[in-house]
Amino acid sequence: MAKRKARPPVPQAVPPAAFLARMRGLLGEADFAAFEAAQTAPVRRGLRLNLLKCRDASAFARIAGFSLSPLPFSPEGFSVEGGDVSGRHPWHHAGVFYLQEPSAMSAVTALDPRPGQRVLDLCAAPGGKSTQIAARLGGQGLLVANEIVPGRAKILLSNLERFGVRNACVYNETPERLCAAFPGFFDAVLVDAPCSGEGMFRREPAAAAEWTPETPAACARRQRAILDWAKTALRPGGVLVYSTCTFAPEENECVVAAFLKENPDFSMEPIPCAFGRPARPDWGGGEPSLELARRIFPQDGGEGHFVARLRMGAGAAAGTARFHAQENGDGMDDAQADVLLRAFFAEQFGEPPYGRPHAAGEVLFLLPEELPALPQGLRLLRAGVCAGRIKSGRFEPTHALYLAAAPGACRRAVDLPLGDARLAAFLHGEQIEADGAAGYIAVLAAGHAVGFGKASGGVLKNHYPRALRTL
């Protein structure tokens, strides 16, 4: 690939004076000195492998040209140096890795999702934690990812599609409406709450500019309301993880302490990974169990996070989820969709369709096997994988269908090295040579699908989505 200019350094914001004064009072002189020194240290770049596509970190680093060092926040997380560490890298387009602030990986580590579970990520955009949950689920169980802001919900969906996630539903709903529709349904719920963002001041100067001394209290009121809704979606015995990227006790220890006081059927649990430092019970009214939560400061290797893991008592009252079958509408029925998709998979992929074929008019989906009939009346952006559509009597596959294929499953493919000029041209939206092949062809970047095209007359017509093309 052509050489690119070096990335400019991340702009360093000047934290508000009132914020620094509060932190000095909270931490004391010695710890505050370390905190202040960390504000001027180089920003660490974090990279998380997509376990759905890659589990060998050594091979990944060697082929991608990166230098990786393990992080304490997640087994699949690394600090990264060297190479083109950006969203322009072909393997980023293929969903092989996700670039993420290191300490942000800690929340899903605390949640510890397991294959087969039903998991809700209630405040999910842009998708870092949702993609991490999906990778831990390994294609088994169900992930419901929700984002209230429409534009951010579309980004969330795009990231899940890039990661090749097959077993997710993406909603654009309020936490209140979504949780009311799924009472007592989930084994685990993550609330990565909207917050004052103090842990992101170094990376996001706008967050520092918008902060006022009153911001934490305003955020805390919203956070307590979101937790009250989130608990209703959790099954008895389930796990609720609350996290923020801020340092304010009002948004962290105080929010959790108030929740525990109002919900005696919940209790704190240890987090199954050692990172950061214990939270401060004295910052949350003296509740001793708050020490089981974890705090991460910049001097601990991450920008800043607070994570608490809570367990609902097994004897708590269970809700009753009332789901309704959705109408198919006009067009192909599910049996016809099944026949069509099985034939297409037999030609294109070395695996059967990964899910239940479902037709919604002329659009065909592959729904997760564990998917119940979904509640009606909610803004659902996507369930499972949108496989394609019937157009002029012919089936046209989608970009998401190829990204969701298992590694090595694409039978009809052109596999290009990472530095191949043809790969760069494809990601720019250009046609590339097709060596006499005909029909739909997957394009791979060193073994991982980045998209597809349609070959005819020795060239591959590019079907890479315009919105994703590199410049």
CATH code of the domain containing 45: 3.30.70.1170
β-pairing, 234-244 vs 186-192, is parallel
Asked if residue 185 and residue 163 are part of one domain, the reply reads yes
Return the percentage of the chain with pLDDT > 70, whole number. 94
Asked if residue 223 and residue 271 are part of one domain, the reply reads yes
Among 341, 464, 353, 337, smallest CA distance to 406 is for 353
Range of 37's domain? 17-99
Decide: 51 and 76 in contact? Cβ < 8 Å.
Answer: yes
Asked if residue 227 and residue 85 are part of one domain, the reply reads no
Decide: 163 and 99 in contact? Cβ < 8 Å.
Answer: no
Please list the active-site residues. 245
Q: Residues marked as binding?
A: 123-129, 147, 192
Among 413, 414, 410, smallest CA distance to 401 is for 410
Asked if residue 121 and residue 212 are part of one domain, the reply reads yes
Read off the CATH number of the domain in which 218 is found. 3.40.50.150
Q: Average pLDDT of 335-339?
A: 94
Instruction: Name, in order, each residue with C-beta under 8 angstroms of 30's C-beta and a sequence gap of 6 or more.
Output: none
Instruction: Please tell me the distance from the alpha carbon of residue 374 to that of residue 383, in angstroms, as a whole number.
Output: 9
Tens digit of pLDDT for each residue in 380-423? 999 999 999 999 889 999 999 999 999 999 999 999 999 999 99
Asked if residue 298 and residue 162 are part of one domain, the reply reads yes
Last-in-domain residue among 312, 329, 353: 312
Asked if residue 281 and residue 240 are part of one domain, the reply reads yes
Q: Does residue 29 sit within a domain?
A: yes
Asked if residue 230 and residue 115 are part of one domain, the reply reads yes
Q: Residues marked as binding for S-adenosyl-L-methionine?
A: 123-129, 147, 192
Instruction: Please tell me the distance from the alpha carbon of residue 125 to that of residue 149, in angstroms, as a whole number.
Output: 9
Q: How many domains are contained in the chain?
A: 2
**What are the helix (H) ranges across 287-379?**
334-348
Last-in-domain residue among 70, 99, 128: 99
Tens digit of pLDDT for each residue in 435-447? 878 999 999 999 9
Asked if residue 36 and residue 178 are part of one domain, the reply reads no
Grouping H, G, I as helix, E, B as strand and the rest as coil, residue 410 is strand
Q: What is the pTM of this model?
A: 0.94
Decide: 271 and 321 in contact? Cβ < 8 Å.
Answer: no
Q: Does residue 160 sit within a domain?
A: yes
Q: Average pLDDT of 83-91?
A: 88
| Cα 277-281-286 angle, rounded to 5 deg | 170
Tens digit of pLDDT for each residue in 167-220? 999 999 999 999 999 999 999 999 999 999 999 998 888 888 999 999 999 999
Give the residue carrying structure tokens 């991450």.
302
Residue 285 has pLDDT above 90, yes or no: yes
